[in-house]
Amino acid sequence: MKRSEQEKELSRRTIGRRGLVIGGLQLAFAGTLLWRLREMQLNQSEEFRLLAEENRINLRLLPPVRGLILDRNGVLLAGNEQNYRVVIKRDDVGDIDLVLGRLAQLIPLTEDDIERTRRDMLRNRPFVPVTVAERLSWEEISRVAANAPALPGVTPEMGLSRLYPLRQDTAHVVGYVGPVSERDLEALETPDPVLMIPRFQIGKSGVERMAEDRLRGRAGSQRVEVNSVGRVMRELDRVEGTPGANVHLTIDAKLQNYALERLHGQSAAAVVVDVTNGDILALASGPSFDPNMFVRGISTTNFNELLNNDYRPLVNKTVQGMYPPGSTFKMVTGLAALEDGVTDGQETVFCPGHMDVSGNRFHCWKRGGHGRVGLVSALAESCDVYFYEMAQRCGIDKINAMSTRLGLGIRYDLPITSVAGGLNPTREWKRNNRNAEWRIGDTVNASIGQGFVLSTPLQLAVLTARLATNRAVLPRLVRDPLERSDRELASLDLRPEWLRMIRQGMNQTVNDRRGTAYSSRVVADGQTMAGKTGTSQVFSITRAEREAGIRRQEDLPWNRRNHALFVSYAPYDNPRYAVSVVVEHGGGGSSAATPIGRDIMLAALNDASPPLSAYPAPQRNRIEFEQREMEQRLRRPEDMRISRA
């Protein structure tokens, strides 16, 4: 049927309107597309270029060279050595078991090494290299390189690893490094990205840990071209990192070695401090351990041997060990009584061998008593009763104040781990910690360094240095080698006449025939030593043990015997060094600790093994024999490598 002209006109109009709408929509879409293309090409081109570049180029961190740790003379205590290692990448390896099996035929790999490698490969992304073995010889790394076609994904590399050339000598001071752990990362608010590098090592103890930020340095970078799955195609750019700063310690490596060897066979600690500036010259804790074992991965067997050793080689006894100071504390009680005015130091007190206080009997170490003694003779002969009397007169508050003034009970800010603060007990401390009131018997016990009083060997060395100088000596372990070695130390403002009596008592302790350390005197001109012996009780001999015939310390098991202590300074007329020695369960201070303290003091004064002429003539044959034995253990001068870095 034919349509009319009117119908045809209506249809044309409808089609025209639709065409216009469709055309308009097409134009709008094309305009929008063109506008978006313009935006992407002109305004956002840089952003998309960077995104594309990141898909093609990866930025990888390069571990920095760790700073060195040196002694006061430039002897290397912690350095870096070349480390040949083999790494493997999971995305290239194919059959992991097959490749690791082939690798085990070329280099020494244990089942534990293979299992650890599998575990590390699964933890990391496929293209992240995992260390299979390190510290390989040149021959071993060469075998791996020669067999590279049969070892897909395996790459031989050369890097740096931490080395402690003096091994056990400075283990407790310098510490050691180890791989970053989850616990290490959790302890940091914003971890350095370099810590994410597989098996990157950081300080775990000692100066290595406390000076980590200085020693670590800043990471370098490597720009590499990668394909779509992250596999490296080629290196585009490389910027080496900034090496860590070197750290210079006040320790004298030669004296440290001598002190540690002098403690050989004992569970003991020795500290040497320069009284003029507080520099710590030796911080020896025996027995020690080889920190290189921890860097290379210590075995469970070796670690358990260290952990279960009764002599506790992993503990730095110089700053962690807290001991009753025993009679080395008597100088504190004497000065507290002098300052309080309850004695002039000249009056005498009668010692019958004991004192009854509040219904309790407190004995003197000399059961028959010392008779009448003044301050000087009470120190020289270590009379307990004299100080029982002085303590009751001045009280614990005065004793505590003097103890703090002389450097006890203070946690010194040193860059080593686990520095203990000791304990200067007070009335408030006992209420808070023992839920009991302070008693006069507590004061009597504290007067001779027993009861609740605890000190570290470092604190005892500081105490002695302050007595020798009347200065607030502060121990220092790290210093800038360019700064002056001396530094201003505040005065303690103790009256010279008081210190004169204390020093005279310490002098007579060593150099008077009635002194408790007379057998360990020094006879060399200009090297006269003053000191104080101490014996701190660990366990009392029970009534049952006495009835069984156990009456002497030597009859007790080793871990129940008394601790032996000795503090000293020299030369007497012009003090230079202070030494403290603690021998755990050594028995008497005069027999166990004092000879060690004398030898270490002589080594410091002479910058060498002590000369025989410094010892009393009757002792020289024995000393010569002991020195010959010790010489075999001491390090030779060529072992003390001076760093040129």
Active site residues: 327
Q: What secondary structure does DSSP assign to 178-202, as a single string? A: EE--HHHHHT-SS--GGGGSTT-EE
Distance CA 95, CA 90 (A): 9
Q: Are 384 and 352 in contact (CB under 8 A)?
A: no
Q: Are 275 and 569 in contact (CB under 8 A)?
A: yes
The residue to which tokens 């027999």 are assigned: 591
Q: Are 580 and 599 in contact (CB under 8 A)?
A: no
Nearest in space to 69 (alpha carbons), one of 159, 158, 184, 176: 176
R_g of the chain, CA atoms, integer Å: 36
The residue to which tokens 């490296």 are assigned: 232
User: Which are the contacts of 456, defined by CB distance < 8 A and separation ≥ 6?
Assistant: 318, 319, 320, 321, 322, 323, 420, 422
Residue 84 has phi, psi (to 5 degrees) of -80, 125
Longest CA–CA span in the chain (Å) reads: 151
User: Which are the contacts of 208, defined by CB distance < 8 A and separation ≥ 6?
Assistant: 69, 78, 174, 175, 176, 177, 215
Sign of the alpha-carbon torsion through 418, 419, 424, 429: negative
Residues in the chain: 645
Alpha helices in 448-593 (DSSP H): 457-469, 496-511, 543-547
Q: Are 284 and 105 in contact (CB under 8 A)?
A: no
Q: Are 166 and 257 in contact (CB under 8 A)?
A: yes
H or E segment to which residue 213 belongs: helix 212-216
Q: Are 72 and 250 in contact (CB under 8 A)?
A: yes
